[in-house]
Structure 1
């Protein structure tokens, strides 16, 4: 394990060096009493771990860590300080540990155990980048092809919601003040920030527990989530459907496979009010692409697949009239009179139960004409 030490107190610096050397199997590649020298060396040497004192002149440990993480996000940070008031802020920067001076050997041994465990986890080869799913609800998979969702245990509902909000604003900075207004409007600023930092820490721990290489960086009073190599079902679906090509049967098969990523409306089961606009945008896109595929099937007289398509539409969006109408017409083309009647009755019941209404004039007219043809 390669380590750099930064502390403006020379005696404290030497004390930490001796303790780490006595623990063993630790290479101290640099020790600095001037923070800017320590920062430059950390950027050049790329150590596994940097032990940083928080209270230093010119550049305190918090600012030091923020600058270093911008250029070297994989670095492991351990804060060392005579004061415990910065512990909450340490969570915000994803510090592995926070040691209060004077440093005791037993306490440092515990930190070193944590560091070695984390380095071993980071070095493990991964056969999958992982996948975040937002259609229907927030879930995780080991890979795109996996059929099972991971069992994820969120510490709090706020941690889950904050992560979902970051996903919606992925690869873009989000001001911390906006997050306070969204999730902790009842708290004053100091307590709100404390809750925010702790929640960020909880999210990072949850992501690490399921081996998802997703990073949340803190800078300029903002956060930014980066998916790195982790996939997002919304991105895969939008990209795949924007390249819609129905010229051959093989293309149609790929389109249907991509379309199946849409397992339900965006975060619909989570009910986050801030997600409604994005939910509606994706829903409109889904109906647009679904209509194109349906028209392709009908042009090829492939009524069976068109029926299956509209049945899936009805399951996803049972309160829209369009699927009932299309199914009535498709069953008519197949000569399945019983199914036409069923769809009409399903439509009447849905409209009565949900809206206390009856089918509109054009539907009633089509149904009456169809009944007359059957006499």
Structure 2
């Protein structure tokens, strides 16, 4: 883990460098008291993470973080501050964590563990993207070839649609007449069957040329499809089958898979036959996301839960239970201002999206918070 540090207090920089140099999971590649020096050296240093003091003259840490992320969107940010009230503002720029001065070695250790875990997943994802063909189904529908060029251009729209249909019905015997009725409902059976044979040939040829491995067999009027390459939708479905075991036992792996979710399934392709699958994917994403957030909260990882719930709500803003979980996090933090702000946001979203008011029981959370204030 390559780390840079920026703090206008020289002693604070020296202390953090000393702590980090005693560890084997971080390498300090740059330490600065002026943010301008980091900006000049950033490209050369290629850091994985930046530890930034929030309260600096000229450009504060929040502004500096935004500038650095423009240079490298994969950079991880950790803020250092003497004032706890900066925490919520820090997370608006998607910081991994924040540390209070003077930096505690145990807290720093936990932060580095989180950083290394997150960067490990990023490296795996980037490696897959460069070296292996894969299929992306969420938010769009792309086949990326092994050459790294792409996405693949299918010879016909129906060849692409057939692949989408087979991905939904993978690892099961599907009648050719079910496929024909789904893809060519307006054709007579004989013409639809001819179209199916031609489209199967075109799809297989395209995937073979892209380097994507599949198995497609036909027997007694049924097709059986298996994908041997990478696919975000299939990883998502496998996570759903594993259930709470994966969510609680390997939370970082589960979060990595869930963060690949972008709605709708197959983007905005006009596939009437997949509406039920799209709705089910949305429902599964909502349920798994809330289960993951609850597992983080039970483990005391409230910041991870908060960050992930905000990601979920950016996609599905009307989920009432997700809003409630965020309110409970603010209750745990005893942050009245953030609670009020999010409650008002939730109220506006629910009225706009589904035409309802927040449930009355959430008022009891507010009363509980006021008692503790």
TM-score normalised by structure 1 residue count: 0.55
Against the structure 1 CA distance between its residues 281 and 190, is the aligned structure 2 distance closer, same or farther, given a 3 Å change threshold?
Answer: closer
Per the alignment, residue 217 of structure 1 pairs with 217
Residue 290 of structure 1 aligns to a residue in which SS? helix
> RMSD of aligned C-alpha atoms?
3.3
Residue 246 of structure 2 aligns to a residue in which SS? coil
Distance of 1:335 and 1:164 partners within structure 2: 47
Per the alignment, residue 156 of structure 2 pairs with 156
Q: How does 1:330-369 map to 2 (within 5 A)?
A: 330-367=329-366, 369=367
Per the alignment, residue 324 of structure 1 pairs with 323
Give yes or no for the alignment of 1:179 onto 2:182: no
Deviation at 1:210, TM superposition (A): 1.8
Deviation at 1:314, TM superposition (A): 0.5
Against the structure 1 CA distance between its residues 318 and 272, is the aligned structure 2 distance closer, same or farther, given a 3 Å change threshold?
Answer: farther
CA contact (8 A) 2:247 2:295 kept: no
What's the CA shift string for 1:154-208, capped at 9, x where partnerless?
A: 3333322221111111232322222222122222233323332332233223213
Deviation at 1:308, TM superposition (A): 0.6
What's the CA shift string for 1:296-335, capped at 9, x where partnerless?
A: 3223332211101211110222221122222222123224
Residue 358 of structure 1 aligns to a residue in which SS? coil
Where does the alignment leave 5 or more consecutive residues of structure 2 unmatched? Answer: 1-129
CA contact (8 A) 1:129 1:213 kept: no
Per the alignment, residue 195 of structure 1 pairs with 195
Distance of 2:346 and 2:358 partners within structure 1: 7
Residue 187 of structure 1 aligns to a residue in which SS? coil
CA contact (8 A) 1:139 1:149 kept: no
Against the structure 1 CA distance between its residues 298 and 271, is the aligned structure 2 distance closer, same or farther, given a 3 Å change threshold?
Answer: farther
Q: How does 1:189-338 map to 2 (within 5 A)?
A: 189-227=189-227, 229-240=228-239, 242=242, 243-244=245-246, 246=248, 251-264=250-263, 266-267=265-266, 269-270=268-269, 272-338=271-337
Partner of residue 135 from structure 2, selected from 125, 132, 135: 132
Structure of higher CA gyration radius: 1
Distance of 1:319 and 1:149 partners within structure 2: 38
Against the structure 1 CA distance between its residues 132 and 280, is the aligned structure 2 distance closer, same or farther, given a 3 Å change threshold?
Answer: same
Against the structure 1 CA distance between its residues 185 and 298, is the aligned structure 2 distance closer, same or farther, given a 3 Å change threshold?
Answer: closer
Larger deviation: 153-162 or 305-314? Answer: 153-162
CA contact (8 A) 1:328 1:344 kept: yes
Against the structure 1 CA distance between its residues 171 and 356, is the aligned structure 2 distance closer, same or farther, given a 3 Å change threshold?
Answer: closer
Residue 216 of structure 2 aligns to a residue in which SS? strand
Distance of 2:171 and 2:154 partners within structure 1: 22
CA contact (8 A) 1:128 1:142 kept: no
Residue 361 of structure 1 aligns to a residue in which SS? coil
What's the CA shift string for 1:140-167, capped at 9, x where partnerless?
A: 3457xx9x89412233333222211111
Against the structure 1 CA distance between its residues 327 and 151, is the aligned structure 2 distance closer, same or farther, given a 3 Å change threshold?
Answer: same
Distance of 1:245 and 1:359 partners within structure 2: 28
Count residues with an aligned counterpart.
241
Against the structure 1 CA distance between its residues 197 and 342, is the aligned structure 2 distance closer, same or farther, given a 3 Å change threshold?
Answer: same
CA contact (8 A) 1:159 1:200 kept: yes
TM-score normalised by structure 2 residue count: 0.55
Distance of 2:313 and 2:356 partners within structure 1: 19
